[in-house]
Chains A and B, each alone.
Chain A
Amino acid sequence: MVDNFDQIVMRTLEHISLVGVAIGLAILTGVPIGIAITQNEKAANIVLYVAAIMMTIPSIALFGIMIPVLSKVGHGIGYVPAVIAVLLYSQLPIIRNTYTAIHNVDPALREAARGMGMSSLQRLRMVEIPLAIPVIMGGVRSAVVMSIGIMAIAAYIGAGGLGTFISRGISQTDARQLITGAVAVSFLAIAADFFLVWLQSRLTPAGLKRA
C-alpha cells in the first residue's frame, strides 16, 4: 500500500513536471506570438488557423509522427516528444487569448498612451499587457487542464506520468490501476485549475478587479 502510494506520488510529480515544462515553453512562445500578430490582421488569421488545425490532430497520431522525426536527434520517444506535443497543443488557447486580449484593449487607452508619448514597447509593458493578463491567464488555464489530459497518453511513448497507470491497466486488464490513473489525472486537473484561478486573481491588477 505504502509502495503504491509512493508510486502515485512519483508519477504525479512526473506528470506535473512534464506539463509544467510544456506550458512554460508554450507561454514563452505563445504570448509573444499573440502580441506580434496584433500588428497584422492577415498574419493573425493565418497563425490562428494553423494553431487551430494543430489541435485537430489526434494526440496519439502526433506522438506517432514525431517518433521518426525526433529519432534523428536521438529523442524519438520519451520526455522530449511528449513536451513538444503538449507545447503545440497549448499554442491555440494561449495565442488566441493573448491576441484577443491585446486586440480588445480600449482604443481610447491606446490613443491616450500614444498621445502621452509612450513607445510601443512602453505601451505594451505599462498598459496593454497588464490589462490583458486576466484573459491571457484564462488561456493558460484551459491549456493546462487540456494538457494534463493529453499528457496521460504520452505514457504510450514512454514519457511516464500518471498515464503509466492507465496504459498498464489497459494492457493488464487491471481495473484498479486504470481507475487509479484516471482518478489521479482528474484530481490533478481540478487542483491545477484551482491553483490557476488563484494565480489569475493574484496577477490581475487591482484596478481591474470588482470593487
Chain B
Amino acid sequence: MIRLDNLTKIFETKEGTTVAADHVNMEVQEGEICILLGPSGCGKTTSLKMVNRIVPPTSGRVFLGGKDTTDYDTITLRRQIGYVIQQIGLFPNMTIEDNIGVVPRMLGWDRQRTAKRALELLEMVALDPAIFLKRYPKELSGGQQQRVGVARALAADPPVLLMDEPFGAIDPINREIIQDEFLKMQKQLGKTILFVSHDIDEAVKMGDKIAIFRAGKLEQFDTPDNVLAHPANSFIADFVGGDRTLKRLRLLTVGEVMDAEPPRVKADDSLSSALQLMNDTDYDNLIVVGPRGRAQGVVYRSVAEGRQGLCNDHHSGLKATVRESDDLRTAVSQMFAHDLTWLPVVDDEGFYKGYITQRGITHTLGRTYRDAEQGA
C-alpha cells in the first residue's frame, strides 16, 4: 500500500515560487496500478519522485505498507522500491546480467543467487537469457532495453514500483505489446505501482485507479470507468476527451455484456420452428449451430417468414465473430465494419458462446449514468 499524506513540493526559482505538488492525498491499495495522469507540469512526476525522495518533499509524508518512509534512510528506502524511468537508464558499461544484478549485489546477495535471478527475470520479460544475458545495452532495441529496465527494477522483488512514463519513448506498436506483457506479469506479481503517464488511453488500459493532476493539485482519483463516465470537472472532461464514452469500451469485455444463453437452432431444424423461436424470444435472427455446437451461420427472420425447408439450406454465412475476452471496442469495431447491430460470440474452436448487440452495449454503458441520475 502507498499512501501520500498532504504531500507538497514548492520549488524556489529565480522567477518565483512554483507549487509543483499541493497537499496531495491519495491511497493506492496493495497490488493495484495507479496512473498519475495530467498535462506536463501538472505535478504528477514530482509526486512520483517524492515517494523515493529523488525529489525531497517540502512537507507531507509518504507511507509504504503503513510505515512512514521518513523512518528509513534514503538509500535503504530506494532499495525497496523498483524505479523505471522513460530514458531507461541502463548502465552502458555493464552487461544486461550485471545491470539486472545491481540492486541484488548492493544488498549482498551471493553471485549464484544474483545470476539465477537475472536469468529468471529475463525470461519473465520475454527475452531469451541465452542471447541477452551477456550483451551490452547498446546492442538492444529501445523496446528490449525497457524490458530490461523493468526486469532491473524487479530484481530484488520490491513490493512497490515507481514508473515514470516507462513506455513513453517506445514506438506505438511495441508499446502496445510491452504494455500487454507488463499487465500479464503484474497479474502474477501483484506489485503496488505508481505509474506516470500523459496518455489517457494508456491510463485507461493500465490503471486500476487514475489520479488526474492539474497545476500541482490532485483533481480526481477514481477508477478509469468513473473518470471517463463521471469526470469531476470540465478540465478533466476536456482532458479525457470528447470521445470519453468510447474509451469506456476498452474497459469491458464481450463476455460481460453478451447474452450468454441465446436461443439457437440446429442445422436440421425447420425454418418454421426457427420462426416460432424468434417470435418467442424476440430475436430477429438466430445462429445455426452444428451437431456439437459450433456456430455455422445465421437464419434471418425475413428468410424464415418467406420460405420453407430446413435451416441448413437457408442460412447465411457469419460475416464476423468475436471472442468473450475481446473488449467492447473490438466488438463495436467489427459491427461497424460489417454493418451489423449484433455479433455471435465464439470460443477458439468456433463453439457458439453468446450473442452481443449494440443495444446491449448501450444499455451496459448507460447503467452508470442512470444510477447517477437516480442518486441525484
**Interface residues, chain A, CB within 8 Å of chain B?**
106, 108-109, 111-119, 122, 126-127, 130-131, 205-208, 211
Contacts and interface: CB of A to CB of B under 8 A. Distances in A.
Interface in B56-113: 74-79, 81, 83, 85, 87-95, 102-103, 106
Nearest to A211: B139
B136 interface: yes
Given A114-B54, A207-B137, A119 B83 contact: no
Given A126-B91, A207-B93, A207-B94, A115 B139 contact: no
Instruction: Give chain A's interface secondary structure class.
Output: helix
B138 interface: yes
Most buried by A among B77, B94, B162: B94
Contact of A116 (B87, B92, B103, B137): B103
Interface in B300-317: none
8 contacts: A115-B78, A116-B78, A116-B79, A117-B75, A117-B78, A119-B75, A207-B92, A207-B94
A31 to B, nearest CB: 17
Interface of B: 52, 54, 74-79, 81, 83, 85, 87-95, 102-103, 106, 136-139, 152, 162
A208 B103 contact: no
Contact of B54 (A115, A126, A127, A211): A115
Contacts of B79: 116-117
Nearest to A130: B93
Contacts of A108: 85, 87-89
A118 B92 contact: no
Contacts of B75: 117-119
Contacts of A114: 54, 78
Nearest to B76: A117
Contacts of B85: 108, 111-112, 115
Q: Binding site of B, secondary structure by majority: helix, strand, loop or mixed?
A: mixed
A115 B93 contact: no
A122 B78 CA distance: 14
A109 B139 CA distance: 17
Nearest to A207: B136
A126 B91 CA distance: 9
Contacts of B94: 126, 205, 207
Which 5 A-B pairs rank lowest in CB-CB distance, beginning with the nearest? A112-B89, A115-B83, A117-B78, A108-B87, A207-B136
Contact of A206 (B88, B90, B136): B136
B120 to A, nearest CB: 19
Contact of B106 (A118, A131, A207): A118
B89 A208 contact: no
Contacts of A122: 106
Contact of A208 (B74, B88, B93, B95): B93
A127 B98 CA distance: 12
B93 A131 contact: yes
Nearest to A110: B89
Contacts of A126: 91, 94, 102
Contacts of A109: 89, 91-92
A98 to B, nearest CB: 16
A115 B53 CA distance: 8
A114 B152 CA distance: 14
B102 A208 contact: no
A111 B54 contact: yes
A127 B94 CA distance: 9
A130 B91 CA distance: 10
Contacts of B54: 111, 114-115
Contacts of B76: 117
Given A113-B89, A116-B152, 10 more contacts: A108-B85, A112-B85, A112-B88, A115-B162, A116-B79, A117-B79, A126-B91, A127-B91, A207-B95, A208-B93
B136 to A, nearest CB: 4
Nearest to A210: B138
With most chain B CB atoms within 10 A of its CB, the pick from A115, A122, A206 is: A115
B103 A117 contact: yes
B52 A115 contact: yes
B85 to A, nearest CB: 6
Contacts of A118: 75, 102, 106
Contacts of B162: 115
Nearest to B149: A112
A199 B159 CA distance: 44
A117 B137 CA distance: 21
Contact of B138 (A115, A117, A119, A207): A207
Given A117-B78, A206-B136, A207-B136, A112 B106 contact: no
Contacts of A206: 136
B279 to A, nearest CB: 67
Contacts of A208: 92-93
A108 B146 CA distance: 13
Contacts of B137: 207
B138 A111 contact: no
A77 to B, nearest CB: 45
A63 to B, nearest CB: 41
